[in-house]
């Protein structure tokens, strides 16, 4: 008797547990990842401000460092799989080169505008006027020495890896991209012989993005640790003395994104605000970690999901991390003029033009280097006015806060670059919601067919299936004709047999009440439907 109640109680408990799990899942879905990251950033700032000793603990710093390392471990395989898969689907080396050339031209034009905006912002605001700071040349000496080993020649030489394994192990983006391009072109040359390898690369790429999805679940912890340690170690008071430079940097970068990138998007038909809203999760994560690489995999995945083809995303985004550092360019020209103003060094028009040209080169040479912004600044100052290098010590304490601005601007610039190049190349798998409504309506009215590699592959597959279906229908038709012929032959044999039996049993049939055959007529094998027998003589 006690079994029944216990069973009912157990069943009731199970139902309650399942309902609790469902409610918990609904709560998680209602609290998306970007909101979790935002809450973690606020919590990190509060911890660093109220308890700096606790926030400066190495274990707090490790939360952000370990998260960034987890993301970096999948960057190389994701770039490799995306680029190789994209090139293999395109199967046209000239088209890949055309996409890369358009991207580089776009990068150089936009990067130049970023340098000019940083220069104009420093000229208009004059953030360095009246600053008398005690310089510490030893603090900036390390970065000055590092800048000497990162010339343009070193940058070009570093593109080719010493070993393939070393490129993947060190996570050098340009080296991995270089090898991926060569490997993809090699697959094109092999044709159908390596079709299995094409499928394998696609499957590995999907698996890597699955790993990214798992890693991104730890983004709130990484954002909390990175922000808490930054505020706890450097303190918010660090910003007070140099608030003018920090504010100018953020305002100039904001205007660059809204005005310059917004105008480019308007011309191309891209709504810049929809794009920024679409990548809000990556923006918040980059704000917390001050690392562009921490959002590279998820940014590529988001852009592909928005409708950009895999070849464009695989080429433009990794290239942009070396050739389209818009935030770094603004920082370099702005900080160079800030140091000159603070130290009382007057720069002529020729010096300022020299700043633009030198910064254009040095910004490429620092790709993939830790502390790239500060190192490129040291290289630029060393070429223009070596006596200004000690002035870097003034911005050493706030470089971490300015690095967040550089990272955000770089991410926005690379995202809009990928969308614009995709539109110019016609590489849209579908009409993404990032386009303006006018452009969407225009494309919908014209019913422009996508021409991307992925969509072309799908169309080829559909065409092949149609051919197979036609072949099957033809076979079925032939089988039906043969079956019909067999049935007709069987009926003929049946009628002949029936006629033979009627001739043999002619007399018994007449005795059984069937009409007698007509006399005097010729023998006929035709069936007489009126009397139900064969006409006979």
| CATH number of the CATH domain containing 368 | 1.10.3860.10
Q: DSSP characters for 356-406?
A: HHHHHHHHHHTTT-TTHHHHHHHHHHHHH-GGGGGGGHHHHTTHHHHHHHH
Per-residue pLDDT reduced to its tens digit, 183-210: 887 887 777 787 788 788 888 887 887 8
Task: Name the pLDDT band for 10 (thresholds 50, 70, 90).
Answer: very low
- 188 within a domain of the structure (yes/no): no
- CA 164 to CA 204: how far, in whole Å? 18
SS3 at position 533: strand
Question: Is residue 441 located within the same domain as residue 466?
Answer: no
Is the same domain home to 147 and 251? Answer: yes
Shared domain for 253 and 364, answered yes or no, is yes
Tell me the average pLDDT across 408-424: 89
List phi, psi (to 5°) of 436: -65, 160
For 293-334, the pLDDT digits (tens) are 778 788 888 888 888 887 788 888 888 877 788 888 898 889
Domain boundary among 427, 446, 465: 446
**Is there a single domain that holds both residue 477 and residue 421?**
no
| H or E element, residue 102 | helix 93-125
Q: Half-sphere exposure of residue 142, counting CA atoms within 13 Å on the CB side?
A: 8
Cβ(533)–Cβ(518) below 8 Å: no
Q: Which two tokens stand for residue 481?
A: 């004709």
Position 142 pLDDT exceeds 80: no
Quote the CA–CA distance of 443 and 449 in Å, as a whole number: 9
Judge whether 332 lies within some domain.
Answer: yes
CA 96, CA 84: separation in Å to the nearest integer? 11
The answer to whether 217 and 32 are in contact (CB under 8 A) is: no
Among the residue ranges 33-47, 124-138, 222-236, 335-349, the one predicted with the least confidence is: 124-138
Residue 123 has a CB neighbour count (10 Å cut-off) of 14
* Alpha carbons within 13 A on the beta-carbon side of 72: 18
Q: Within this chain, do residues 392 and 461 fall inside the same structural domain, yes or no?
A: no
Max CA-CA distance within the chain? 142
CA distance 157 to 143: 21
Contact 190, 11 (CB under 8 A): no
User: pLDDT tens across 270-282, in order?
Assistant: 888 888 888 888 8
Q: Are residues 292 and 440 in the same domain?
A: yes
Domain co-membership, 465 together with 429: no
346 plus 277 within the same structural domain = yes
21 Rama class: left (phi>0) / alpha (psi -120 to 50) / beta: alpha
Q: Is there a single domain that holds both residue 486 and residue 433?
A: no
Q: Which domain holds residue 100?
A: 92-171+242-446
Q: Could you give the percent of the chain with pLDDT greater than 70?
A: 66
What is residue 252's predicted lDDT score, i.e. its pLDDT? 94
531 within some domain = no
Predicted pLDDT at 183? 87
The answer as to whether 232 is a domain residue is: no
Rounded CA gap, 351 and 347, in Å? Answer: 5
User: What pLDDT digit, counting tens, does each position of 329-371 carry?
Assistant: 898 889 888 888 877 778 888 888 888 877 776 666 444 444 5
Separation between Cα atoms, residue 229 and residue 232, nearest integer Å: 5
Residue 462 lies in a domain: yes
CA gap 148, 136 in Å, rounded: 20
d(C-alpha 503, C-alpha 226), whole Å: 107
Of 326, 339, 356, whose CA–CA distance to 395 is shortest?
A: 339
Neighbour tally for 86: CB within 10 Å: 26
Q: Which residues sit opposite 534 in a β-bridge?
A: 527
Residue 371: predicted pLDDT: 52
- Residue 63, both tokens: 């939360």
Q: Looking at the 3D structure of the chain, how many domains does it have?
A: 2
Q: Which two tokens stand for residue 329?
A: 């360019």
Name the pLDDT band for 469 (thresholds 50, 70, 90).
confident
Q: According to the model, what pLDDT value does residue 23 have?
A: 55
Domain closes at, from 422, 446, 470: 446
| Average pLDDT of span 30-36 | 71
Question: What percentage of the chain's residues is helix, strand, coil (to nearest 5)?
Answer: 80, 0, 20
**φ and ψ at residue 308, rounded to 5 degrees:** -75, 140
Average the pLDDT over 471-500 and give the result.
81
In a domain, 417, yes or no: yes
8 A C-beta contact, residue 522 and residue 505 = no
pLDDT at 13 over 70: no
Residue 527 pairs in a beta bridge with 534
329 domain-assigned: yes
pLDDT of residue 261: 92
Tokens 């005005």, located at residue: 259
Do 457 and 341 share a domain, yes or no? no
- CB-CB contact of 118 with 331 (8 Å): yes
Three-state DSSP class for residue 534: strand
Structure confidence by residue, pLDDT tens digits, 225-256: 877 887 787 666 555 556 788 889 999 999 99
In terms of average pLDDT, the best of 67-71, 156-160, 420-424, 517-521 is 420-424
**Residue 375 pLDDT class (50, 70, 90 cuts):** low
Collapsing DSSP to helix, strand or coil, 433 comes out as: coil
Taking the C-alpha atoms of residue 434 and residue 440, their distance in angstroms, rounded to an integer, is 9
Q: What is the pLDDT of residues 164-189, one digit of tens each?
A: 888 888 777 778 878 888 888 788 77
d(CA 309, CA 419): 10
Residue 75 lies in a domain: no
The CA–CA distances, whole Å, from 83 to 131, 183, 314, 411, 534 equal: 49, 9, 5, 19, 81
Cα separation, 277 vs 289, whole angstroms: 19
Question: Measured at the alpha carbon of residue 299, what is the angle toward residues 254 and 460, in degrees to the nearest 5?
Answer: 130
CA distance 295 to 212: 10
Could you tell me if 495 and 382 lie in one domain?
no
Last residue of a domain, one of 401, 417, 446: 446
Residues 356 and 469 in one domain: no
């Amino acid at each position: 008797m006690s079994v029944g109640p216990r069973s009912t109680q157990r069943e009731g408990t199970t139902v309650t547990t399942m309902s609790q799990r469902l409610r918990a899942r609904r709560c998680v879905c209602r609290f998306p990842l970007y909101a979790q990251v935002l809450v973690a950033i606020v919590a990190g700032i509060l911890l660093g401000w109220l308890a700096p000793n606790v926030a400066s603990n190495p274990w707090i710093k490790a939360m952000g460092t370990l998260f960034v390392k987890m993301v970096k471990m999948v960057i190389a395989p994701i770039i490799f799989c995306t680029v190789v898969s994209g090139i293999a689907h395109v199967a046209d080396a000239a088209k890949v080169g055309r996409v890369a050339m358009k991207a580089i031209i776009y990068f150089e034009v936009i990067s130049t505008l970023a340098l000019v905006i940083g220069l104009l912002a420093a000229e208009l605001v004059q953030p360095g006027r009246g600053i008398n700071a005690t310089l510490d040349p030893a603090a900036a000496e390390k970065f000055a020495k590092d800048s000497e080993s990162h010339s343009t020649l070193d940058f070009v030489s570093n593109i080719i890896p010493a070993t393939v394994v070393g490129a993947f192990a060190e996570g050098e983006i340009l080296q991995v991209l270089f090898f991926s391009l060569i490997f993809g072109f090699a697959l094109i040359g092999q044709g159908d012989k390596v079709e299995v390898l094409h499928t394998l690369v696609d499957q590995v790429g999907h698996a890597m993005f699955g790993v990214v999805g798992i890693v991104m679940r730890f983004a709130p912890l990484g954002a909390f640790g990175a922000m808490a340690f930054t505020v706890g170690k450097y303190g918010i008071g660090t910003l007070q003395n140099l608030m003018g430079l920090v504010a100018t940097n953020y305002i100039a970068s904001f205007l660059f994104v809204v005005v310059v990138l917004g105008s480019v998007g308007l011309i191309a038909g891209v709504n810049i605000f929809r794009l920024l809203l679409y990548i809000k999760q990556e923006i918040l994560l980059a704000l917390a970690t001050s690392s562009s690489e921490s959002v590279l995999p998820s940014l590529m995945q988001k852009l592909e999901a928005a409708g950009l083809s895999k070849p464009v995303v695989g080429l433009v985004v990794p290239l942009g991390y070396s050739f389209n550092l818009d935030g770094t360019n603004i920082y370099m020209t702005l900080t160079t003029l800030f140091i000159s103003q603070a130290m009382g060094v007057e720069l002529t028009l020729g010096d300022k033009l020299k700043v633009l040209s030198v910064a254009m080169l040095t910004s490429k040479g620092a790709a993939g280097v830790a502390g790239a912004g500060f190192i490129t600044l040291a290289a630029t100052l060393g070429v223009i006015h070596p006596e200004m290098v000690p002035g870097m010590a003034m911005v050493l304490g706030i470089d971490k806060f300015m690095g967040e601005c550089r990272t955000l601007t770089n991410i926005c610039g690379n995202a809009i670059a990928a969308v614009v190049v995709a539109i110019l190349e016609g590489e849209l798998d579908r009409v993404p919601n990032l386009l303006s409504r006018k452009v969407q309506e225009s494309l919908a009215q014209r019913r422009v067919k996508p021409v991307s590699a992925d969509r072309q592959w799908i169309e080829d597959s559909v065409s092949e299936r149609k051919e197979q279906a036609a072949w099957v229908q033809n076979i079925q038709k032939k089988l039906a004709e043969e079956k019909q012929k067999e049935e007709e032959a069987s009926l003929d044999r049946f009628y002949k047999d029936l006629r033979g039996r009627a001739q043999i049993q002619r007399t018994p049939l007449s005795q059984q009440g069937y009409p007698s055959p007509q006399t005097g007529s010729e023998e006929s094998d035709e069936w007489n439907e009126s009397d139900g027998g064969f006409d006979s003589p």
